[in-house]
Amino acid sequence: MPASARERRHAALAGLVALATAAVVSLIAPTPAAAAGTWTETGSDRADPLTESQGLASVEVPANSPNRYTGIGTIPLGLSARGWNHVGDPDATYGGYYIEPYQRDSGNSKMFRVQAPGGTWSEYVHTLGPDEALNNSWAAVSPDGRWMLSGEWGTMTRLLIFPTPGVNPSTSPSANLPQTGTVRLDHAVRDVQGCDFSGPTTLLCSSDDPDGSLFGLTKPLLRIDLSAAPDGTADVSGHVTALRQLPLRSSCSGNFEAEGIDYDRRGGVLRVIVVSPGFCVLTDSKTYKFSES
């Protein structure tokens, strides 16, 4: 066969192979992140590095309450003096209970500080399980208010389930806050800094993952779909999807830090804190706002 004829035949065969390969890939490839909902950036506000650098929560009771933030500057001196020197991403219930997660540098416990709608504060201490990490980065309360999720630092395949302190009648400041279940994830997550429920069985989470090997991108916004709403009686499974990379924009170069997250159910607005690197932590750290389409 002349060389030109062979080349045309090889080109035609290559085209057929490419088409067939594309068809097979389309059948076996995982659903793209956009299928789970696209979160589009709609604006941002400066995040104060002392008082707005760890987390945030939208509060529905009383009406027209401002968003609440946490940072090193919001830790009461009395708590810090007792070793509770790190506060994470808080959450609030429909009924107006507000919950902040705390940790210490050592020991065998973590603490959730709860403010009731009337303003009274209480502390609920949880003794660590045999393989539980010390850190206490975030709290996420289920829409029914009765159950709370929390997570651990590092690469993890689980989230922890607790009765919501101060809301669930089984809890008391004078008793250990027990872990009542686990969310078993189908994909590992790394350095989750905050999660919030956007529905009874859906979590949106901010990950400070600096590596990018788990999902092909660093600092991802994650969605976790639960097999059932937490009820404190059994473990549930969670399907993890990486939706997008969080914004990483600053006048300085270096390592950004993705922090807390909040889903405001009143308007469907998602907010995520991203702290800028270097000196710019003081000038252009942001709370980014997103809407779903």
Per residue in 13-43, pLDDT (tens digit) is 344 333 333 333 333 333 333 345 799 999 9
Name the band, by pLDDT with cuts 50, 70 and 90, for residue 106.
very high
> Hey, CA dihedral for 189, 194, 196, 200, is it positive or negative?
positive
Q: What is the mean pLDDT of the chain?
A: 90
b/e burial code for range 94-107 (CB count within 10 A of at least 16 → b):
eebbbbbbbbbeee
What confidence score (pLDDT) does residue 15 get?
Answer: 41
Residue 260 near residue 89 (C-beta atoms within 8 A): yes
Instruction: Express as a percent the part of the chain with pLDDT over 70.
Output: 88
Give me 168's structure tokens: 């669930």
pLDDT tens for 174-231 read 999 999 999 999 999 999 999 999 999 999 999 999 999 999 999 999 999 999 999 9
**Cis bond leading into 130, ω under 30°?**
no
**With DSSP H G I counted as helix, E B as strand and the rest as coil, what are the percentages for the chain, rounded to 5?**
15, 40, 45
Is-contact 142 168, C-beta < 8 A?
A: no
263, pLDDT greater than 80: yes
Query: Looking at 18-22, 63-67, 112-116, which range is the least confident one?
Result: 18-22
Looking at beta carbons, which pairs linking 12-19 to residues 24 or more positions away fall under 8 Å?
A: none
Residues 276 and 46: beta-carbon distance below 8 Å: no
Domains of the chain in start order, with CATH, are: 36-292 (2.120.10)
